[in-house]
Structure 1
Amino acid sequence: MSRQLEFTMGGLLDHIAQQFPDNEALIYVERGLRYSYREFNEVCRQVAKGLLKMGIKKGDNLSIWAYNVPEWVILQFATAKIGAVLVTVNTSYKSAELEYILKQSDSNTLFLVQGFKDTDYVATLLDVAPELATSRPGELQAANLPCLKNVVFLGEGSHAGMVDFTGIMELGKDVSDAELAAVESTLDRHDVINMQYTSGTTGFPKGVMLTHFNVINNGFNIGECMRFTDKDRLCIPVPFFHCFGCVLGVMACVTHGSAMVPVEIFDPLKVLQAIEKERCTAVHGVPTMFIAELEHPEFPKFDLKSLRSGIMAGSNCPIEVMKRVIRDMNASEITIAYGQTESSPVITQTRTDDAIELRVATVGRALPDVEVKIVDIETGNELPPGKQGELCTRGYLVMKGYYNMPEETAKVIDADGWLHTGDLAVMDENGYCKITGRIKNMIIRGGENIYPREIEEFLYTLPKVSDVQVYGVPDRKYGEQVMAAIVLKKGVTMTEEEAREFCRGRIANYKIPKYVKFVDSYPMTASGKIQKFKLREMAIRELQLEDAGETA
Structure 2
Amino acid sequence: MTLNHILTTPALIARGAARYGTRIAIETVQGNLSYAQLDAARITAARALIGCGIEPGERVAIWAPNVALWIVAALAIHSAGAALVPINTRMKGLEAGAILEDSGARLLFCCGTFLGESYPAMLAAHRPASLTRIVVFDGAALPAASTTQGGDETWDAFLLRAAGTSMETFRSREAQVRPDTLMDIMFTSGTTGRPKGVMTTHGQNLRAVHDWAQIATLRDADRYLIVNPFFHAFGYKAGWLAALASGATVLPHLVFNPERVLERIVRDRVSVLPGPPTLYHALLDMPGLAERDLSSLRVAVTGAAAIAPSLIERMRAQLGFETVLTGYGLTESCGFAALCRRGDDAETVAHTSGRAMPGVEIRIADSDGSALAPGQTGEVLVRGYNVMQGYFGQPETSLDTIDADGWLHTGDLGTLDERGYLRITDRIKDMFIVGGFNCYPAEIERLFSGHPSIAQVALVGVPDARLGEVGHAYIVLRSGAHASVGELTEWARQNMANYKVPRYLTVVDQLPVSAAGKVLKYRLREGAASTGDGSEKTAENTAAS
TM over 0.5: yes
TM-score category of the 2 structures, normalised to the smaller one? 0.7 to 0.9
Structure 2 CA distance for aligned equivalents of residues 60 and 336 of structure 1: 35
Structure 2 CA distance for aligned equivalents of residues 299 and 184 of structure 1: 48
Structure 2 CA distance for aligned equivalents of residues 193 and 375 of structure 1: 31
Deviations 1:337-370 (A, max 9, x none): 1111110011001112222321122110111111
Contact 1:314 1:529 (C-alpha < 8 Å) held by counterparts = no
Q: Do residues 375 (structure 1) and 365 (structure 2) align?
A: yes
AA aligned to 2:382 is T
Structure 1 CA distance for aligned equivalents of residues 289 and 190 of structure 2: 35
Q: Do residues 245 (structure 1) and 243 (structure 2) align?
A: no
Structure 1 residue aligned with 2:489: none
Structure 1 residue aligned with 2:511: 546
> How many angstroms does 1:146 deviate by?
2.4
Contact 2:290 2:318 (C-alpha < 8 Å) held by counterparts = no
Q: Do residues 67 (structure 1) and 65 (structure 2) align?
A: yes
User: Which of the residues 38, 41, 46 maps onto 1:40?
Assistant: 38
AA aligned to 1:148 is L
Contact 1:5 1:213 (C-alpha < 8 Å) held by counterparts = no
Q: TM (normalized to structure 1)?
A: 0.78
User: Which of the residues 363, 370, 375 maps onto 1:386?
Assistant: 375
Give the aligned CA root-mean-square deviation in angstroms. 3.2
Structure 2 residue aligned with 1:499: none
> In structure 1, the residue corresponding to 2:273 is in which secondary structure?
strand
> How many angstroms does 1:116 deviate by?
2.9
How many equivalent residue pairs?
464
> How many angstroms does 1:332 deviate by?
2.6
Structure 1 residue aligned with 2:250: 260
> In structure 1, the residue corresponding to 2:17 is in which secondary structure?
helix
> How many angstroms does 1:534 deviate by?
4.6
Structure 1 CA distance for aligned equivalents of residues 4 and 502 of structure 2: 40
Structure 2 residue aligned with 1:88: 86
Structure 2 residue aligned with 1:402: 391
> How many angstroms does 1:172 deviate by?
1.8
Contact 1:315 1:530 (C-alpha < 8 Å) held by counterparts = no
User: Which of the residues 154, 166, 174 maps onto 2:137?
Assistant: 154
Structure 2 residue aligned with 1:122: 120
> How many angstroms does 1:200 deviate by?
5.0
AA aligned to 2:232 is H
> In structure 2, the residue corresponding to 1:283 is in which secondary structure?
coil
Deviations 1:125-165 (A, max 9, x none): 22224xxxxxxxxxxxxxxx221111101102111242111
Contact 2:240 2:250 (C-alpha < 8 Å) held by counterparts = yes
Q: Do residues 354 (structure 1) and 319 (structure 2) align?
A: no
> How many angstroms does 1:270 deviate by?
2.3
Q: How many percent of aligned residue pairs carry the same amino acid?
A: 30
Structure 2 residue aligned with 1:280: 270
AA aligned to 1:410 is L
Contact 1:370 1:393 (C-alpha < 8 Å) held by counterparts = yes
Structure 1 CA distance for aligned equivalents of residues 118 and 247 of structure 2: 36
Structure 2 CA distance for aligned equivalents of residues 487 and 6 of structure 1: 41
Unaligned runs of 5+ in 2: 442-459, 469-491, 524-545
Distance change in 2, residues 1:95/1:200 (3 Å): farther
AA aligned to 1:408 is T
Structure 2 residue aligned with 1:498: none
Structure 1 residue aligned with 2:196: 206
Structure 1 CA distance for aligned equivalents of residues 402 and 15 of structure 2: 33
Structure 2 CA distance for aligned equivalents of residues 27 and 432 of structure 1: 37
AA aligned to 2:419 is N
User: Which of the residues 306, 315, 327 maps onto 1:337?
Assistant: 327
Structure 2 residue aligned with 1:11: 11
Deviations 1:489-522 (A, max 9, x none): 9xxxxxxxxxxxxxxxxxxxxxxxxxxxxxxxxx
Structure 1 CA distance for aligned equivalents of residues 328 and 510 of structure 2: 34
Report the more deviating stretch, 170-179 or 401-410.
Answer: 170-179
AA aligned to 1:546 is L
> How many angstroms does 1:4 deviate by?
4.0
Structure 1 CA distance for aligned equivalents of residues 513 and 165 of structure 2: 65
Distance change in 2, residues 1:405/1:529 (3 Å): farther
Structure 2 CA distance for aligned equivalents of residues 67 and 379 of structure 1: 43
Q: Do residues 425 (structure 1) and 390 (structure 2) align?
A: no
> How many angstroms does 1:312 deviate by?
0.9
> In structure 2, the residue corresponding to 1:282 is in which secondary structure?
coil
Q: TM (normalized to structure 2)?
A: 0.78
Structure 1 CA distance for aligned equivalents of residues 466 and 337 of structure 2: 30
Structure 1 residue aligned with 2:444: none
Deviations 1:401-446 (A, max 9, x none): 111011111111111111111111111111111111111359xxxx
User: Which of the residues 413, 435, 448 maps onto 2:424?
Assistant: 435
Distance change in 2, residues 1:118/1:200 (3 Å): farther
Contact 2:309 2:347 (C-alpha < 8 Å) held by counterparts = no
Distance change in 2, residues 1:488/1:386 (3 Å): closer
Structure 2 CA distance for aligned equivalents of residues 199 and 315 of structure 1: 18
Structure 2 CA distance for aligned equivalents of residues 285 and 202 of structure 1: 28
Structure 2 residue aligned with 1:513: none
